[in-house]
Each structure stands twice: as structure tokens, then as C-alpha cells.
Amino acid sequence: MAQTPRFVPDLSAEDLARTQLNGLKWTVAHAFAGSPFYRERLNDEGLEPGDIKGLDDLGRLPFTSANDLKEGYPLPLLSVPQQDVVRIHASSGTTGKRKVLSYTQKDIEVWKDMFARCYELAGLTVLDRVQICVGYGLWTAGSGFQLGCERFGAMAVPVGPGLLDIQLQLLTDLATTCLCSTASMALLLGEEVERQGLRDKLALKKCIFGSEAHTPKMRRRFEQALGLDESFDIAGMTELYGPGTGIECQAHEGIHYWADLYILEILDPATMAPVAPGEVGEMVVTTLCKEASPLIRYRTRDLSRLLPSSCACGCSLPRHDKILGRSDDMIIFRGVNIYPGQIAAVFEKFPAVSSEYQIQLTREQGLDHMLIQVERRPGDTAGQDPATAKAMEAEISKQILVRTEVRILDPGELPRTFSKTRRVLDERDKDG
Ligand code: ZN
């Protein structure tokens, strides 16, 4: 019988702390020695590698950001001689230049192992057939899913995104058992499978999906349409190797992340101080063995929170929640930090409304006012609107501890754009 290898380490708290401290010391010394950018940044703070004596010293290190990647274009943060770089990947910058990240051979090997851990936590074996429907080339996604699959020992079916007919043909002919895609691609495939009545011809059991916001409703929908046993939210970003920096386990309560390979801090984006364990804040990452483009306190702008308790699956690696939004979208409302994702999460409990909403902030007589406009579910009539709005206001007040006004609109009434939808309109300054 085929043996499925193990990649997920079992580390005691002491072992993990020791690994993190050694990695932190190594990273600061490596970046200081190899990168003029990091040397200058550390010099500015009056810091030298020898100053890092304990994990608490992490908080003394300066932050890095997407802007530093832009300014260092084309090979930002480079901390090794160029001859040691074996590959680059890039992500699209939302404005201007791409973010380019370099990899040494060792970086690629670490990434493969990280990704192999993902397949292991999702419960795959070497007998699984893994159809990879994400972007190849400059993007990290395709090669990450494929290299990890090969390292793990399952069979990779590398298709790339789109190509609906080919996807369906390979899903049926090759009896693919695991789909790797974005949530919206899984939904698209699911709807096509239903339309063509192919569900009984599929052998799919799992889907590993990531890289974009999804709602529980959307997830249940594609799980059901594709006849899946379960699906797994995978984490990752180009700056931090690529996808595969963490994944849900079969308990489906948060994302285990590889704390032996990078340190995750959750900080208040307004003050950059650590939030209390379990509170929402910005994810800030420091790599522990990344050679070509190491990250020191890199501000991801993604919001999440740590899940402090231990997981039912038995895996000792810590967990964070799914991505709850972007720190740029944080609202400070009557002294409370609020994220649009928290409000959207309340909507999940109300089937009478859709997922389209907009938050408008104004100031009236010196007092902040929040108006939440949300669309009624298509097909329903307006009769229940006042009662639904009242119930939603009460639920938001209970969950987030702020008073708001909810207004329910007709389906399609809110503006739609092709780019990222603007969820928050902050007009408080205008009112003076
Ligand atoms: Zn778990």
C-alpha cells in the first residue's frame, strides 16, 4: 500500500520558541549583511544584529511595506548575490509597478514543503489526483500548488484557470479527487456541472480554494454543486513565498499557519501596538529562513485574528482566522475600531438580505452616524423591510457594540463597479 509521507511538524511550545528565536536572529543578521536596504533601515533605528537577544526584541525592529517593494523594483529586498537567485515571481500592483520577489533554490524547497503540509492537513494521500485551476507563469499560485503536490506525492493535473470544457473533461476522464481553484472558479465549475448533469460522473471529494474573499453561503453552494465532502481555505501571498503559508484542517475552525517558518504578529493598524489575543488586527509577518527576499515585520494590510485555543485536530501549530478584510478599510467609529467584514458577518444571519451593502459615515451635530444600506434578496417583497432592518440594528449593536441605522434597498439599487467595490463612504470630514 502506498505510504503517504508526513510534512507537518509536531513542536512543543518551547521548541517552537527556540526555532523562532534562532530564525529571527539569522534573518536580521542575513538581511543586515546582504541587503543595503535593510542595513540602512536598521541603522536608522540604531539597531545591529547583535541587539536581537529574545523574541521580545521583534517589537524593536522597523516595519516594511508594499511601498518598499515598489521602491526597490525590480529586485526589492534582495539579500543574496544575484547568482544565487533561481527564480522570480510577481503579483500585480494595484497601482503602478508589480511586486517582484526573488527565490533561491532553498526558498523553493521550503515553499514545496510548506505546500506539502497543506495537502497533508487537508487529508489527501499519494493516491489523490489534484486538478490545479489557478494561474501559472509570473503568478505564484500555479507553480506553488504543483510543486507542493509533487513533493507530497499526489498526482498533479496542471490545467490553469478558465478552460471550462477542458476542466470538465479532465475532471471526469481522470477521476480527479481534489480541485484547487479560487472560490469563484469552484462556483462557476459547480454551476456548469449542474447544468450539464455531470455530478454522478465526478470523483471529486475536496476543494482547496483561496486568494479571494468568499462567504459561507458561496462555499456551501459550490460544495453542494460539486458533490464535495469538504473544502479547505488556503492562505498565502506572493511576498511570503506564495500560497501555502497555512490552511484549514479537517476541523474547519481556522487556518493553521507555519509558525516555525514565519512569525505572525496581529497589530492594531492605527497604533501598530499588539492587540489582545483573539482581537482583530493587521497581519504583520517576519520570515525565519527566507534567503533571497526576507521579510522583516512586513505589513500585509490583511486583517485577521489569532485563535488562541488548541485545535480539535491535534495539530500543534497555531491558527489564525480567515482573512476578514483590509486594514485600509478600518473605520474608527465613536472610538471603536470596526472592520466592514464584521458587519458583513452579521448579514449572514439574515436570509432576507443579499451580500451587497454599503456603509456611509457622516457627522451630525458633532456626533458620528453610521448608515448601512443593504439590498433585499431578489424575489422578496418590501413588506418585511422595517422589521428586518430593526432586527439587524439590534444584532449589530449586540455583536459590535455600536448603534447604527440599517436601510434596506431594492435588489440592484447599490452601484456596481468592475473594480473592487467601495464598501465604505466616509463623509465625516465634509460635515466639518
Ligand atoms: Zn486543526
Query: Ligand 1 centroid to 36 CA: how many Å?
Result: 40
Burial 403-413 (b: 16+ CB within 10 A, else e): ebebebbeeee
Query: Ligand 1 centroid to 1 CA: how many Å?
Result: 26
**Whose grid coordinates read 464535495?**
228
Whether 253 and 355 share a structural domain = no
Query: Ligand 1 centroid to 264 CA: how many Å?
Result: 17
Q: Are 130 and 159 in contact (CB under 8 A)?
A: no
pTM over the 0.85 mark: yes
Whether 263 and 351 share a structural domain = no
Whether 334 and 210 share a structural domain = no
Query: Ligand 1 centroid to 194 CA: how many Å?
Result: 32
Domain range enclosing 268: 1-326
pLDDT at 180 over 80: yes
Query: Ligand 1 centroid to 423 CA: how many Å?
Result: 32
- Cβ contacts of 170 within 8 Å, gap of 6 or more: 131, 157, 159, 176
Whether 419 and 280 share a structural domain = no
Query: Ligand 1 centroid to 342 CA: how many Å?
Result: 23
Whether 277 and 414 share a structural domain = no
Model confidence at 431, pLDDT cuts 50, 70, 90, reads very low
Whether 408 and 305 share a structural domain = no
Query: Ligand 1 centroid to 249 CA: how many Å?
Result: 5
Tens digit of each residue's pLDDT (9 = 90 or more) over 366-384: 889 999 999 998 888 899 9
The predicted model gives 237-264 an average pLDDT of 97
End residue of a domain, out of 281, 305, 326? 326
Lowest mean pLDDT among 213-217, 224-228, 278-282, 296-300: 213-217
Whether 268 and 394 share a structural domain = no
Query: Ligand 1 centroid to 421 CA: how many Å?
Result: 33
| CA distance to 203, 233, 281, per residue, from 326 (Å) | 36, 17, 10
| Count: domains in the chain | 2
Nearest to 257 by CA among 245, 240, 275, 243: 245
Query: Ligand 1 centroid to 306 CA: how many Å?
Result: 13
Whether 180 and 120 share a structural domain = yes
pLDDT at 418 over 60: no
What's the CATH code of the domain at 403? Answer: 3.30.300.30
End residue of a domain, out of 299, 326, 353? 326
Whether 401 and 295 share a structural domain = no
